[in-house]
Amino acid sequence: MKKTLIVYYLIFIVSSSGCATLVTGRSQKISISSSPDNAIISIDNIIVGKSPTRVDVNKDTGKYILVEKEGYYPQKMLLTTKLNNWFWGNIVGLIFFDLSSLTDALTKGMLEYSPNQYYITLDPINATTRNMNIYDLRREVKYFIVSNHNEIIKELSIKRGEYTNTLLRMLKIDDENSDATIRKIRGLSEAYLEAPDFSEKVVEMFLGK
């Protein structure tokens, strides 16, 4: 009897939730910001606007963001994906001979972009421009950390990700020193829980007072 109730309950979940394609759609909105603003944003070599922007992107793997602005080195970044939560409901549906999961696999409805917000810093071609005004750089790093504090903390818990990689670029940390730097930043995040204090200590450690 208990087994039958579980079966009915699972069928109810599948039928009420619908397939992932219907719930989340075949595309997703993502936000793209840059420093400086008004950079040209392309996705898979198609221009979609200027930063900051919010664009509807078809769900698929292997898509790239390209950010370009005159006088700056272009930055290319992979749009990372994961399975959305509704897909697992469809797996249950497939067990009961519901083919919606197969449809999702074909239409990419099972995917979602994660993260769905990207902040990209462009380096000036004339590098001395950046070094000329350390005060602006400190202010920019503090703003980035405070604005993206939650995402940075999440990535530090799993070593690193898009936001922490951007922070490393802003701090001018090379690949050889990146792991050691991440460990130091993680230590600061554990000692200073509030975003303003954390950002202040990161800037002091790597850019001075």
Give per-residue pLDDT as tens, 12-70: 444 444 444 444 567 888 888 888 889 999 988 889 999 898 998 888 777 888 898 88
Among candidates 202, 186, 23, 162, which has minimal Cα distance to 101? 23
Quickly list H helices, the chain: 2-17, 20-24, 85-95, 100-107, 128-132, 134-147, 149-157, 162-170, 175-191, 195-207
Q: State yes or no: pLDDT of 4 exceeds 80.
A: no
**Strand 117-121 vs strand 27-35: parallel, antiparallel, or unpaired?**
parallel
Residues 6+ apart with CB under 8 A from 8: none
The whole-model pTM stands at 0.46
Model confidence at 7, in pLDDT bands (50, 70, 90)?
A: very low
pLDDT digits (tens, 9 = 90+) for 129-182: 445 467 778 888 888 898 889 989 999 988 788 889 889 988 888 888 999 999
102 vs 167, residue with greater confidence: 167
CB 177 within 8 A of CB 171: no
Domain assignments of the chain as residue spans, ordered by start: 2-113, 133-207
Edge-first strand order for the sheet with 64-68 is 46-50, 40-43, 64-68, 75-78
Q: What SS3 state is found at 74? A: coil
Helix (H) or strand (E) holding 68: strand 64-68
* Residue corresponding to tokens 């759609």: 25
Residues 6+ apart with CB under 8 A from 156: 164, 182, 185, 186, 189
100-114, 125-139, 190-204 — most confident range: 190-204
Rounded Cα gap, residues 7 and 2, in angstroms: 9
Helix (H) or strand (E) holding 53: strand 53-58
Q: What are the distances in angstroms from CA 94 to CA 27, 43, 106, 170?
A: 23, 33, 14, 47
Kindly state the average pLDDT of the residues 179-199: 93
